[in-house]
């Protein structure tokens, strides 16, 4: 499997944190050099590991905001 490269462009906020220090975060991330997208996923304390998550375009994030 190819390496996945990411750059956290903007740390927006933390939604929750578990007992092991992993945090569910909302960030803007550029994946493999692409345009940044909103991203919600679990991260290890120093962003050295990540869990599964969801990425949203600007349009999808705006629609989600309306739905909430």
CATH of the domain at 40: 2.30.31.70
Residue 64 in any domain: the answer is no
**pLDDT (tens digit, 9 = 90+) per residue, 9-61?**
999 999 999 999 999 999 999 999 999 999 999 999 999 999 999 999 999 99
Q: How many domains does the chain have?
A: 1
Task: Give CA–CA dist 14/40, Å, rounded.
Answer: 9
CB 56 within 8 A of CB 37: yes
**Boundaries of domain holding 33:** 1-44
Residue 67 in any domain: the answer is no
Residue 38 in any domain: the answer is yes
Over 80: is that where the pLDDT of 2 sits? no
Residue 66 in any domain: the answer is no
The reported pTM is 0.90
Q: What are the beta bridge partners of residue 11? A: 27
Tokens of 42: 């679990």
């Amino acid at each position: 499997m190819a390496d996945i490269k990411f750059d956290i462009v903007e740390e927006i906020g933390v939604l929750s944190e578990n007992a092991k220090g992993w945090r569910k975060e909302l960030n803007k991330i550029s994946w493999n050099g692409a345009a940044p997208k909103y991203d919600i996923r679990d991260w290890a304390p120093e962003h050295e590991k990540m869990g599964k998550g969801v990425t949203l375009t600007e349009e999808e994030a705006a629609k989600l905001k309306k739905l909430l």
